[in-house]
């Protein structure tokens, strides 16, 4: 049990840090759009990487470091591109909750100050899943943290390394489920197009900063 808890604690400490994947899951949760598929893709991807790290995939990455280099540049390009798309949404709007008047013409049963309902400008499932897969698998840190670090720490537990991996996998499912489905409770603060444009502006800054940060060590090494 202590080994499982150790894996759970380390897994949470690595996953909770603000990153592109978490930002995307948070945004999908706020929009209440394809939340379950996104959460499952993130958690299952982490599970595959954790199992791979415990099984020895980390050794492959150590012997072929160019794999991390490729992921670094591809991930940086994708993050900056996604950040620019978010910046465009922040500038022009379009990624927010769209308010639509559910009242007909004013009258006794439809007062002029009638209520407004909100509907989502939804995106299709396939592009959403493609985006979250890219954010997950083109992030070199996921290989360094999940595969190498978790794999190395799990190896110190000897025969209990798979219990350690189980704890880390549980941490991943717990976190992404809480982030994706818990985000909807923040929706009351994001009921206006302006609020969503501000959110997209923040997402743009985070994504571009993360993308630039990926390649800075290479450029100045």
What pLDDT is recorded for position 107? Answer: 42
- pLDDT surpasses 90 at 37: yes
The pair of structure tokens assigned to 120 is: 């989502």
Of 5-14, 97-106, 130-139, 144-153, the one with minimum mean pLDDT is 97-106
Percent of the chain predicted with pLDDT > 70: 80
Distance, CA of 28 to CA of 209 (rounded, Å) = 20
The pLDDT, as a whole number, for residue 53 is: 83
pLDDT computed for residue 39 by the predictor: 96
Mean pLDDT of the chain: 78
pLDDT level of residue 33 (50, 70, 90 thresholds): very high
Question: Coil, strand, or helix at residue 157?
Answer: coil
Residues 192-217, mean pLDDT to the nearest whole number? 82
Residues 6+ apart with CB under 8 A from 154: 7, 53, 54, 161, 162, 164, 165, 168
**Domain assignments of the chain as residue spans, ordered by start:** 2-99+122-215
- What pTM was estimated for this model as a whole? 0.70
């Amino acid at each position: 049990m202590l080994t499982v808890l150790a894996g759970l604690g380390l897994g949470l400490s690595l996953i909770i840090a603000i990153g592109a994947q978490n930002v995307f899951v948070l945004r999908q949760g706020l929009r209440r759009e394809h939340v379950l598929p996104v959460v499952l893709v993130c958690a299952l991807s982490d599970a595959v990487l954790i199992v791979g790290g415990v099984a020895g995939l980390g050794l492959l990455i150590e012997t072929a470091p160019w794999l991390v280099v490729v992921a670094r540049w591809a991930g940086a390009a994708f993050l900056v591109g996604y950040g620019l798309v978010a910046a465009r949404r922040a500038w022009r709007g379009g990624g927010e909750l769209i308010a639509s008047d559910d009242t007909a013409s004013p009258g006794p049963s439809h007062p002029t100050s009638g209520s407004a309902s909100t509907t989502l400008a939804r995106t299709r499932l396939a592009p959403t899943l493609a985006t979250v897969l890219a954010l997950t698998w083109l992030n070199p840190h996921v290989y360094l943290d999940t595969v190498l670090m978790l794999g190395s720490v799990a190896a110190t537990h000897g025969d209990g390394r798979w219990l350690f991996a189980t704890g880390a996998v549980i941490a991943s499912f717990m976190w992404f489920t809480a982030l994706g489905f818990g985000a909807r409770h923040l929706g009351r603060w994001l009921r206006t197009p302006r609020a969503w444009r501000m959110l997209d502006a923040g997402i743009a800054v985070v994504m571009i900063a993360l993308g630039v940060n990926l390649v800075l060590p290479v450029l100045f090494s």
